[in-house]
Chains A and B, each alone.
Chain A
Amino acid sequence: MAGASFDMRDKESKISRRGSRRLARRSILCLVVVALAFAAWLLMRSLRPVDETRDRILETGVLRVCTDPSWPPFESVDPTTGQVVGLDADLAHLLAPRIAPGVKAEFVVVGFDSLYDALAASRCDVVLSALPYEAARTRDVSYSISYFNAGPVIVVREGTEGINAVQDLPGRVVGVEWGYVPEGEPKEKLILQQLGLRRYDTAGEALRALQAGELEAAIVDRISALVYLHQCEGLRFAGEPIVDVNYSIPVRPDAVLLIEEINHILLEMRRDGTLDRLQDKWF
């Protein structure tokens, strides 16, 4: 028994030694995992992009918005208050606090052809001035996703059937404003080029001619169409814009976190109906 007892003790001792080794191994493993996690955290922290524009906005609580207030209904100066008003102005006021609570939009008024220079020279953090996306400028600025499509649209009278796209226009009497340049996919462009378009001095005149029955369809920019449709009944859009003229919000290319946030906010605004409500308010 004594021998057995000794064996038992010896066995227990062996088990105990094995257990402590296992424990030691586990402890080392845990330490390694923690060290790796810490290193990964440090690495992530060092890789996190720096965005001085966003830092400045958070620090000052001000989002500086460059705009040329000569373009109603997107931006103009209210003669009674002297304030910049319009769809873009409202959008700026809604955008700022969503970047961070308490941030307010402040407008920096510059001429339209100086907007990009003002942005490049850090006169403002973003441009909100009915500015269409331009592929040629993507080396110098980062554009947000679109918040409004101002591309040319087909407008017809209520009750008109069979016109829903460019492909339905051959053989129809179509009006445009002077200076209209057919654009679109190659097939659509070809169709538009071959149409015997009637030209009017303004988009409004083309739409009046449509309303009066002189035309079967008119192709005008979506803003002119929205303004006109808001004032007059009896006309409707036929399909989506023929080409996209996407208004978006450019920032400097190094504002990498800011542009991400703006895109996120604009997506939210699309989903929650904010952009639709803004359009309804100003058209």
Chain B
Amino acid sequence: MQRASASLGTPPALESSLDAIPVAPTAPYLYNLAMPTSTTLRRWRPRALRLALLAILCLAAGRPPAPVVELGPQQQVTSINPRVGIHTRLTDEVEPWKVKRTLEMVREMGAGWIVEYFPWAYSEPAPGRYDWTHADQVVDHARRQGLQVIARLGLVPEWARPGTDDRSTTPTYLDVEYYPAFAQYAQAFVGHFRERVAAIVVWNEPNIALEWGYRPVDPEGYTALLSATYAAVKQADPKVVVLGGALAPTLAPSGDPEGMNDLEYLQRMLAAGAGEAMDGLAVHAYGWKLPPDAPADPATVNFARTELLHAMLVDAGYPGMPVYLTEGGWNDHPRWTKAVLPGQRAAFTVRAYQKAEQEWPWCEVVALWAFRYPRPANSYLDYFTFVTPDFTPKPVYTAVQEYARGGEQ
């Protein structure tokens, strides 16, 4: 018994105390097979623990190690223009190395900002139950590459949507009774990503019916959502920048059921008090076939339309409110009716970054659409990207990289 105890490594103190307990004499075979008494349990516990540990180790050794993608050393963005940014699309990217490679290439291009979409439905699958796994991965890699993150929040989870029988809405439908739930999610998001995310965008393109759950668009309703979110978010992190708007540039005529002219929408937002519920205005600035220097005109959708939106902020009494371009740019598909040639696209894109730096002091960031798609869309949408799904850089990527490094254009 002593030998057995010694071989099991029982501490001497315990060994002596065990010896002190009277044990009923039993035949050796009975000792092994009979139901253990409390004393035998004590004797066997260390062995059982060891066996259990061994079994766990064996199981662990049999499993392939989980793939690990290291964050790597801290990097810094080198660029002559601190406003250069890009909208990544990592929401559906499931492979960590691709997340990392994407963000490395963003840095190597000379962009210091990314805009990324963090769907509410993905992060809060049940009320109050949060899963930040993928969001953490994206934000951590972005930070390690020296990038600042602007997070777009939206997409209603199933539990906050109308009943499943209602086929007339989309996951962008948010009933007013769930505004506090969204605000709470935004609060949890900025609380979790405190000092890791620079800004959040509340919703996306609420001036088109599709993005407003196929309801008539409602600038006052959106302002109520923005206000509720702003108040909640500032409690969690007073320093995070809250961006409102992110309006779709559109010339929709008055009364169009599909959407509202972005200028009219912003006017009504500001009249409803949106200026007090945002720190900056998010703007989408697509150029279609026009160059970035084409003059702003209320009757035209172009890159410089941004100036009209900014002027409205000034007129409404918010001259210091910054503008963040969170989408925009050009497409170079050979047949799409709103596309330009690849060479034009590269030149327009570089000029857009330059223009913001030289002429728009009120513009903090120009984040164009889109860096890379996880898989080909097999349509003209593929021609908005800067690199292909397999990370082959397109001419526009090379042109921006050269510009950001201070090369001649």
Which A positions have Cβ atoms within 8 angstroms of B? 70-72, 76, 110-114, 117-118, 120-123, 130-132, 134, 136, 150, 178-179, 181, 201-204, 223-224, 227, 245, 252
Contact = CB atoms under 8 A, between A and B. Distances in A.
Contact of B334 (A123, A134, A136, A224): A224
A179 B392 contact: yes
A83 to B, nearest CB: 15
A71 B335 contact: yes
Interface residues of B, number: 31
B-side interface mostly: loop
Interface string B363-389: 000000000000110111111010011
B167 A122 contact: yes
A130 B342 CA distance: 23
B168 A121 contact: yes
B33 to A, nearest CB: 56
B337 interface: yes
B131 interface: no
A245 B378 contact: yes
Contacts of B335: 71-72, 223-224, 227
A202 B341 contact: yes
A181 B376 contact: yes
20 contacts: A70-B336, A70-B380, A71-B380, A72-B335, A76-B337, A113-B381, A120-B167, A120-B170, A121-B214, A131-B379, A134-B378, A178-B394, A178-B395, A179-B382, A179-B392, A181-B390, A201-B342, A201-B343, A202-B341, A224-B335
B188 interface: no
Interface in B197-221: 210, 214
A202 B342 contact: yes
A121 B337 contact: no
B337 A201 contact: no
Nearest to A69: B337
A274 B200 CA distance: 52
B123 interface: no
Given A131-B379, A203-B334, 17 more contacts: A70-B380, A71-B335, A71-B337, A71-B379, A110-B258, A114-B210, A118-B210, A121-B168, A121-B169, A121-B214, A150-B378, A179-B382, A179-B385, A179-B392, A181-B389, A202-B334, A245-B378
Contacts of A123: 214
B209 to A, nearest CB: 9
B167 A121 contact: yes
B324 to A, nearest CB: 22
Interface in B328-375: 334-338, 341-343, 375
A37 B170 CA distance: 45
Contact of B392 (A76, A113, A181, A201): A181
Contacts of B378: 132, 134, 150, 245
Contacts of B172: 117
B379 A132 contact: yes
Contacts of A204: 334
Contacts of A112: 379-381
B170 to A, nearest CB: 5
Interface in B237-272: 258
Contacts of B395: 178, 201
Contacts of B336: 70-71
Contacts of B382: 179
A160 B392 CA distance: 30
Contacts of A110: 210, 258
Nearest to A183: B376
Contacts of A134: 378
